[in-house]
Structure 1
Amino acid sequence: MLFNSIEFLLLFLPVVFLIYFGLHKINLHKMALLLLIISSLVFYSFWNPVYLFLIVGSMIFNFLIGTIMNGSKNLFSRNLLLFLGVLGNVLLLGYFKYYDFFVENANFLFETNIALQNLLLPLAISFFTFQQIAFIIDTYRGETKQYSFMTYALFVTFFPQLIAGPIVHHHEMIPQFNDKSKYHIQLSNIVKGIFIFSIGLFKKVGIADTFAVWANEGYANVETLTFVESWLTSLSYTLQLYFDFSGYCDMAIGLALLFNIKLPINFFSPYKSRNIQEFWKRWHMTLSRFLTHYLYFPLGGNRKGEYRTYLNIIIIFAVSGLWHGAGWTFVVWGTLHGVASIIVRVWGKTKIVLPFVISWFITFSFINLAWVYFRAESLGQAHTLFGKMFTLDQSILHVFNQKLAFASTWETFEFLGVHWLTNPMFVVPFLLLFLAVSLLAPNSIQLLEKFEPKVSTLLLVNVCIIAVLFVTYILHKNSEFLYFNF
């Protein structure tokens, strides 16, 4: 079930909302929380009911480990429980997400013929596994309380953030679920929630899914791309991913606000960054937080000398790459970001400060090129696209004079007598417009902070929703979010 689907918007969400607050109204608070857990599990199992047993089993395992650890004062027992808890989560994630990847590489290196499992990646496994690893480690450190299983289960499964984050901490979520002041409908939160949700919905359906047409077509036809088409392909994916993930984050925040729950900010105008360290303070902020607190610091952080610090940086970025996907393209992408982060640190020692425009341009160019590895299905495909992007040809002289051949499968789409999706007179300005929006416009979090219910705001919400319905109807699109794959 997708946030942008009719069954979610017109059936699941309003029914859950009304029953949830209805139960609170008659003081059946535990029943209301139980309803939210069951609804979240229904939401999760909509894709594949089989994996319902996986997430429930994972919750029970981690809750028992945490409960036993909280009640134990014996250091050996606590160390053993910590080891078993982290190992259990890593093995679960490793088997479903990385088994085939490691087997393929083992078969290649040792000329073996171990059979692949061809496992279907369980939805959200990377997110709920990392959340529970953090819970186990925090319990070991004495930073958790003896939570009830109901509130713990809701912390893991809460549907607005279950599928693609943010990766939340128990201490920022469970107290909210136990806060009785949040058990009543709050009109201000409903209005704010609808406002930011509608922005996110428009980002996803109206913007990201449009860029997806050119990105997907380009990567599917990488061998035949011209110089211009190769750059349109890479930049289209760069903007598709931006508005897709940004849209999801907005929608998650908006949905949570409907239930009076505040989620942590996970996305804050990352393409405005002037170096790669700043980028990671703005992009998938809760993943950066997790890797910093639960991997970088335990490895020693920057406390064990300069070269050990650089090694630790490479490790956490390589892990970040692997977390996103089981493939060498993701490892290369993560490692490139690690190297770039080290370069920024070394450059900082020179005390030379580049003008903002230059530092921004270098950073954005690096991010755009690195996304090629992130999106490519193989290293070979990525290198082919790079070759096209840095080989000048005649296409640069005829940018607006001929249709885009790489998007020819969309030539049948016509509106008002124009083949919009293959017409560079539309594609190029569309790309430049939303690149400018990502760089110059206030982001949705800033808009939410300044939000005031008034006529202009209502009009903005209506425009977003109408545009979503129009694009969905015209292009017949109802696509998943990109981070569902990670």
Structure 2
Amino acid sequence: MLFNSYPFILLFLPAVLVGYFWLGQRSNLTPVIWLAAASLAFYAIGNWQFVALLLASIAFNYGVGHLLIVAKLTPSRRRAVLALGIAGDLLVLGIFKYAGFAADNINALFGTHFAAHILLPVGISFYTFTQIAFLVDAWRGQVAAYALPHYALFVTYFPHLIAGPILHHKDMIPQFAREETKHPDPHLMLCGLIIFAVGLFKKTCLADGIQPLVALAFEARSPSFDQAWLGALAYTFQLYFDFSGYSDMAIGMSLMFGIFLPVNFNSPYKATSIVEFWRRWHMTLSQFLRDYLYISLGGNRRGRVLRYVNLMITMLLGGLWHGAAWTFVVWGALHGAYLCINHAFNALVPNIATPLVRMARAAGAVLTFLAVVVAWVFFRAERVDWALRILGAMASPTNIVFGREEIAALVLVSIYAALVWLAPNTQAIMGYDHGHRRVGDGLRAGRMRPLFLYGASLVLALGILGIQSHSEFIYLRF
């Protein structure tokens, strides 16, 4: 089931909200069980064949975590239990996500005919990484003993289950256990509805609206210079509004339950360096890779050379996390190289004269954006050679075919660029503060309330009218 669908908006979400708050008047635990069951139902509607796998993953990781938290084991046995838990998670992820990729490469190298075409369970990367973080923290002694219903809801919570963000147990489980979240808060429900409406508009009107232009580059056999650039930029903005829209919708519907999700997207194309870009793009994945991979590899504690090696390993694995294809490996390698260059530049040029700061930031923003666009070409292309063909066209300004279609595309891409760089993001408009659990203070005080309500109603109406029969979020495939 998709968030941008009539059954979800008109039936599923209202029914789950009503049941959650009705049960909340009777006990503190029953609403948690209801919400976990509803999340499993949400997953089963489109992925019924993988519900057993999800339940098995929850049971396995909860059991391993219980051993690490409660059982009095020796340090060596605790390490063995942790290794068993992580190995089990990665084995399942590897079989379902990477077995086909491995088989294809073995066949290409040795002329064999192994067949390993396995259907990918939606959301497996997100719930696997969420639980690996739980196990590592349990081994570090940073996890309390959680009740099974709360843990199950933490893993299956439907606003995040299919496409993130990657949740952290310390942040989410205490919220699920709070008595206050079991009773409707009109302010949070209003703010949640507004944020959900904005996210729906971004997806159905903006992301889906520019999607046809992507074909100019990625479905043409020999795109011209202008077609390659327009198609690459169209995908850059499509992915931006698709991911931003999903993130807003997840935060908005979660607020209706009184639960604050972490911000996962913060105007990344406004970044002035690639380091800043990764602090703004898919923020929970960046934090996971930093805390549980990069730092575990040694981070920057073992000298500059090993720091760059660790960055490259982290980003290569981050690329593979997105998909089992060489295009994602190249995408990860590019971003690893970008980060190494960025850190090397910061080390060699630690300070810039004050009069040049604004100019340097502007140049950094342009360079960062262009680097990101180049990497997105590999991210979107079906094969590496197709990506290189598009990049070759982007580097050939002599091959220009600037007709009526290209002029219309340029106008549309320019409008999207203005929205990305000039408009404030949703959390700035709504004053969403995940850390302090605050949102919509201006609305609560009554300032500009009619404007917000009229605007949100219009945006929600446009978003609903823009719903197509089947328009998945791009991050569902990861």
Give the alignment's TM-score, normalised by structure 1: 0.91
Are residues 295 and 384 of structure 1, via their aligned partners in 2, closer, same or farther at CA, if it must alter by over 3 Å? Answer: same
How many residues end up aligned between the 2 structures? 457
Report whether the alignment pairs 1:440 with 2:442: no
Which segments of 5 or more consecutive residues in structure 1 lack a partner in the other structure?
Answer: 405-423
Cα RMSD (Å) of the superposition? Answer: 1.4
Following superposition, the deviation at residue 477 of structure 1 comes to 4.7
Look up the match of 1:471: 466
Look up the match of 2:194: 195
Look up the match of 2:366: 361
Look up the match of 1:235: 233
Q: For 1:14, give the aligned amino acid.
A: P
Following superposition, the deviation at residue 255 of structure 1 comes to 0.7
Q: For 2:476, give the aligned amino acid.
A: F
Following superposition, the deviation at residue 182 of structure 1 comes to 1.4
Range with bigger deviation, 431-440 or 85-94: 431-440
Q: For 1:20, give the aligned amino acid.
A: Y
Alignment check: 8 A CA contact 2:199 2:249 kept: yes
Look up the match of 1:392: 397
Q: For 1:4, give the aligned amino acid.
A: N
Report whether the alignment pairs 1:402 with 2:404: yes
Alignment check: 8 A CA contact 1:204 1:244 kept: yes
Equivalent position SS for 2:46: coil
Give the whole-Å Cα distance in 1 for the aligned partners of 2:465 and 2:180.
Answer: 39
Which segments of 5 or more consecutive residues in structure 2 lack a partner in the other structure?
Answer: 353-358, 432-438, 444-448
Look up the match of 2:435: none
Are residues 158 and 216 of structure 1, via their aligned partners in 2, closer, same or farther at CA, if it must alter by over 3 Å? Answer: farther
Look up the match of 2:91: 91
Range with bigger deviation, 382-391 or 167-176: 382-391
Alignment check: 8 A CA contact 1:206 1:468 kept: yes
Look up the match of 1:325: 323
Equivalent position SS for 1:224: coil
Look up the match of 2:308: 310
Following superposition, the deviation at residue 218 of structure 1 comes to 3.5
Alignment check: 8 A CA contact 2:154 2:169 kept: yes
Are residues 220 and 394 of structure 1, via their aligned partners in 2, closer, same or farther at CA, if it must alter by over 3 Å? Answer: closer
Look up the match of 1:271: 269
Following superposition, the deviation at residue 216 of structure 1 comes to 4.0
Equivalent position SS for 2:400: helix
Look up the match of 2:446: none
Alignment check: 8 A CA contact 1:471 1:477 kept: no
Following superposition, the deviation at residue 217 of structure 1 comes to 5.5
- How many percent of aligned residue pairs carry the same amino acid? 41
Aligned counterpart for 1:374 among listed residues 373, 379, 385: 379
Equivalent position SS for 2:9: helix
Give the whole-Å Cα distance in 2 for the aligned partners of 1:469 and 1:63.
Answer: 39
Q: For 1:481, give the aligned amino acid.
A: F
Look up the match of 1:295: 293
Q: For 2:429, give the aligned amino acid.
A: L
Question: 1:211-268: CA deviations, max 9, x gaps?
Answer: 21111453122x1322211111000000000000001000000011000000111110
Are residues 323 and 355 of structure 1, via their aligned partners in 2, closer, same or farther at CA, if it must alter by over 3 Å? Answer: same
Range with bigger deviation, 306-315 or 211-220: 211-220
Following superposition, the deviation at residue 388 of structure 1 comes to 1.5
Q: For 2:62, give the aligned amino acid.
A: F
Give the whole-Å Cα distance in 2 for the aligned partners of 1:291 and 1:434.
Answer: 30
Look up the match of 1:116: 115
Following superposition, the deviation at residue 402 of structure 1 comes to 2.5
Equivalent position SS for 1:48: helix
Are residues 220 and 470 of structure 1, via their aligned partners in 2, closer, same or farther at CA, if it must alter by over 3 Å? Answer: same
Look up the match of 1:247: 245
Range with bigger deviation, 334-343 or 446-455: 446-455
Report whether the alignment pairs 1:23 with 2:23: yes
Q: For 1:485, give the aligned amino acid.
A: R
Following superposition, the deviation at residue 67 of structure 1 comes to 0.6
Report whether the alignment pairs 1:134 with 2:145: no
